[in-house]
């Protein structure tokens, strides 16, 4: 029977709700943190992708988390905006305040339900947990009609107790019941059995949407998700590129394309515009600095590359011989060769749109276009990846306090390297000259002398954006300050320039982190 839902109205039986938690479960994993503007940009891309629910953050976790959920709730139209809350009054009230401006909003509240979680983490008796569920779901319902309840570590819970928890949540007014495999322990058969049992045994189960949330510790998150769907689950919780705690969450692009490609086996549909998958994946990689592995399903650069002669021959004769879906259906173009030095500003703007950069402001467009022209002069062939890597500096970092301006380096085998670096800090030009053990060290020393700070360099990694000796280098720099980690990225055909850009990006992120952890003392946080 079709369900009536407060935010979605009547939901057809075959319609799967895609609940994206890239900005919450994904963002909370080490190295994947995003600043306010980056989260907003990612939320806009997810809305364009067509997800139904965006879990925008965990508002009580920090003032920065609250601000980003609130900003997304204010600005984003279309998807339901959810805020996460533990089973505690203060959490629910904070989440309610953060999502209040949303056109369509949800409070998502959770509590541990396995013996391990109740005894060792919550130190609560089962009856106390049941009372907390009733109280917090009731409170959440006073702030919104759309309330999701999650039983954390549900796959290791006692089945009879889990039934009582779910019944309590439904009676208190939950409209979605989510049963996470928090530790990635389940196998597909468990998942199918669990949801079949709950949907059969719990009174009121036919009036709510069941949801699945799977972690990938055994590499089974997508398989478990599809097994849950086969057992009648109609909401999938997932993340772009599968990012998330530890080994990550079920990957959005994989579950969506499995459902679309194998409609014969999984007779369901989602509202995702699959042609937007690749650009959303790339945007996330650009923001976080973590590329997916080349053989990653759907969005890895080899996902549609045919190397063996027999395969190439088959694809040329009929692509279906070795392709179960078309590359275009997820946003790949058959050729990624793009523009050259004669391309104009209008074509460049169109290209940015196609690459997922939406509407770019005139100043950012001018800066990015200038850098594109410089690159096209230096590099024989400019690929989409080159343009994406280059404009990330200008478009995603428009709000940064520190900006890279220029760098001159002398290096070689005959003595210490020297670097002369020019930065703009709060609009003021500053230069410094420094020596070091190699050009990167000299550059970072110059940077520290312009902008003194205590952060420790934890990671320095260099990769190539495309192939060939004239390829741009993409550098990642990880800094640590007071136990907080930030990653910065930079790209350029000159590896040392890319390194300086990456360091500057990481520093800007650090400033944002300082502001988040000391919201009352803005002046301090902004002090260099």
| Residues in contact with ligand KIV by the rule CB under 6 A | 25, 110, 150, 152, 180, 182, 213, 215
- 24 or 94: CB nearest Zn ion: 24
**What's the closest the beta carbon of residue 180 comes to ligand KIV, in angstroms?**
3
- 91 or 392: CB nearest ligand KIV: 91
For residue 152, the partner it binds in Zn ion, ligand KIV, none, with Cβ less than 5 to 8 A by kind, is: ligand KIV
6 in Cβ contact with 145 (< 8 Å) = yes
**What's the closest the beta carbon of residue 109 comes to ligand KIV, in angstroms?**
9
For residue 110, the partner it binds in Zn ion, ligand KIV, none, with Cβ less than 5 to 8 A by kind, is: ligand KIV
For residue 439, the partner it binds in ligand KIV, Zn ion, none, with Cβ less than 5 to 8 A by kind, is: none
102 in Cβ contact with 114 (< 8 Å) = no
For residue 210, the partner it binds in ligand KIV, Zn ion, none, with Cβ less than 5 to 8 A by kind, is: none
Instruction: Return d(Cα 299, Cα 280) in angstroms, integer.
Output: 10
- 151 or 331: CB nearest ligand KIV: 151
Other CB atoms closer than 10 Å to residue 120's CB: what's the count?
Answer: 10
Q: Where does this chain touch Zn ion (CB under 5 A) — which range of 20-28, 86-94, 140-148, 265-273?
A: 20-28
**What's the closest the beta carbon of residue 151 comes to Zn ion, in angstroms?**
12
CB-count exposure of residue 257 (10 Å: 0-12, 13-18, 19+): buried
Q: Where does this chain touch Zn ion (CB under 5 A) — which range of 25-33, 169-177, 370-378, 467-475?
A: 25-33
For residue 282, the partner it binds in Zn ion, ligand KIV, none, with Cβ less than 5 to 8 A by kind, is: none
Q: Judged by CB under 5 A, how many residues of this single chain contact Zn ion? A: 1
> Among 23, 24, 40, which residue's Cα sits nearest to residue 150?
24
Question: Is 25 one of the binding residues for Zn ion (CB under 5 A)?
Answer: yes
The structure tokens listed for 31 are 């190295």
**What's the closest the beta carbon of residue 21 comes to Zn ion, in angstroms?**
7
**What's the closest the beta carbon of residue 153 comes to ligand KIV, in angstroms?**
7
- 107 or 339: CB nearest ligand KIV: 107
Q: Is the dihedral of CA 157, 161, 164, 165 positive or negative?
A: negative
For residue 117, the partner it binds in Zn ion, ligand KIV, none, with Cβ less than 5 to 8 A by kind, is: none
- 46 or 440: CB nearest ligand KIV: 46
- 209 or 389: CB nearest ligand KIV: 209
The pairing of beta strand 176-181 with beta strand 17-20? unpaired
For residue 8, the partner it binds in ligand KIV, Zn ion, none, with Cβ less than 5 to 8 A by kind, is: none
- 150 or 225: CB nearest ligand KIV: 150
- 20 or 25: CB nearest Zn ion: 25
CA-based radius of gyration for the chain: 25
Question: Is 91 one of the binding residues for Zn ion (CB under 5 A)?
Answer: no
The structure tokens listed for 216 are 């990938």
As a 3-state breakdown, the chain gives helix, strand, coil percent values, each rounded to 5, of: 45, 20, 35
**What's the closest the beta carbon of residue 65 comes to ligand KIV, in angstroms?**
14
DSSP letter string, 453-491: --PEEEEEEEEESSSSTTPPEEEEEEEEETTEEEEEEEE
Reading phi first (left if > 0) and then psi (alpha if -120 to 50, else beta), residue 329 is in alpha
End-to-end Cα separation, the chain, in angstroms: 61
For residue 150, the partner it binds in ligand KIV, Zn ion, none, with Cβ less than 5 to 8 A by kind, is: ligand KIV
**What's the closest the beta carbon of residue 110 comes to ligand KIV, in angstroms?**
4
- 25 or 254: CB nearest Zn ion: 25
In order of 43, 152, 290, 463, the CA distances from 243 in angstroms are 15, 19, 10, 20
Question: Is 237 one of the binding residues for Zn ion (CB under 5 A)?
Answer: no
3-state secondary structure of 211: strand
For residue 156, the partner it binds in Zn ion, ligand KIV, none, with Cβ less than 5 to 8 A by kind, is: none
**What's the closest the beta carbon of residue 239 comes to ligand KIV, in angstroms?**
10
Q: Where does this chain touch Zn ion (CB under 5 A) — which range of 22-30, 55-63, 370-378, 476-484?
A: 22-30
Instruction: Return d(Cα 133, Cα 526) in angstroms, integer.
Output: 42
> Among 506, 496, 505, 487, which residue's Cα sits nearest to residue 438?
496
The structure tokens listed for 291 are 């590329």
- 27 or 44: CB nearest Zn ion: 27
CA angle 203, 209, 215 (to 5 degrees): 110
456 pairs with which residues across the strands? 480
- 110 or 332: CB nearest ligand KIV: 110
Binding site for Zn ion (CB under 5 A): 25
């Amino acid at each position: 029977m079709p369900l009536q839902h407060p935010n979605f109205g009547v939901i057809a039986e075959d319609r799967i709700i895609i609940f994206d938690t890239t900005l919450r479960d994904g963002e909370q994993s080490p190295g994947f943190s995003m600043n306010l503007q980056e989260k907003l940009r990612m939320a806009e891309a997810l809305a364009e992708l067509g997800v139904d629910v965006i879990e925008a953050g965990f508002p009580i976790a920090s003032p920065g988390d609250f601000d980003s959920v609130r900003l997304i709730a204010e600005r984003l139209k279309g998807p339901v905006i959810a805020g996460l809350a533990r089973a505690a009054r203060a959490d629910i009230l904070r989440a309610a305040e953060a999502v209040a401006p949303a056109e369509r909003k949800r409070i998502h509240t959770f509590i541990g339900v396995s013996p391990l979680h109740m005894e060792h983490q919550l130190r609560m008796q089962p009856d106390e947990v049941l009372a907390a569920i009733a109280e917090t779901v009731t409170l959440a319902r006073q702030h919104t009609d759309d309330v999701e309840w999650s039983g954390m570590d549900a796959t290791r819970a006692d089945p009879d107790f889990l039934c009582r928890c779910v019944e309590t949540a439904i009676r208190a007014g939950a409209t979605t019941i989510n049963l996470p495999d928090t530790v990635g322990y389940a196998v597909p058969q468990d998942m199918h059995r669990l949801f079949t049992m709950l949907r059969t045994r719990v009174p009121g189960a036919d009036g709510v949407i069941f949801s699945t949330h799977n972690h990938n510790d055994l590499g089974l998150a997508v398989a478990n998700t599809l097994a849950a769907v086969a057992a009648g689950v109609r909401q999938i919780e997932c993340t772009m590129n599968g990012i998330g705690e530890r080994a990550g969450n079920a990957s959005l692009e994989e579950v969506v394309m499995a459902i679309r490609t194998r409609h014969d086996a999984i007779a369901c549909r989602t509202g995702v515009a699959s042609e937007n998958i690749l650009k959303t994946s790339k945007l996330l990689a650009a923001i976080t600095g973590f590329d997916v592995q080349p053989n990653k399903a759907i969005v890895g650069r080899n996902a549609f590359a045919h190397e063996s002669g027999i395969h190439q021959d088959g694809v040329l004769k009929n692509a279906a011989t070795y392709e179960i879906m078309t590359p275009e259906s997820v946003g790949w173009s058959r050729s990624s060769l793009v523009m050259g030095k004669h391309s104009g500003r209008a074509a460049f703007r169109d290209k940015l749109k196609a690459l997922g950069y939406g509407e770019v402001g005139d100043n950012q467009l001018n800066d990015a276009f200038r850098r594109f022209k410089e690159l096209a002069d230096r590099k024989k062939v400019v690929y989409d990846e080159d343009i994406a890597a280059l404009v990330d500096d200008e478009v995603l970092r428009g709000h940064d306090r520190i900006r890279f301006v220029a760098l001159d380096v002398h290096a070689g085998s005959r003595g210490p390297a020297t670097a002369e670096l020019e930065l703009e800090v709060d609009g003021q030009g500053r230069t410094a000259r420094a020596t070091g053990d190699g050009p990167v060290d000299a550059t970072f020393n110059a940077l520290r002398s312009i902008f003194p700070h205590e952060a420790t360099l934890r990671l320095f990694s260099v990769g190539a954006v495309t192939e060939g000796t004239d390829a741009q280098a993409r550098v990642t720099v990880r800094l640590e300050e007071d136990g907080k980690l930030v990653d910065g990225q930079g790209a350029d055909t000159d590896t040392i320039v890319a390194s300086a850009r990456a360091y500057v990006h990481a520093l800007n992120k650090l400033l944002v982190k300082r502001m988040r952890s000391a919201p009352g003392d803005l002046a301090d946080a902004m002090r260099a």
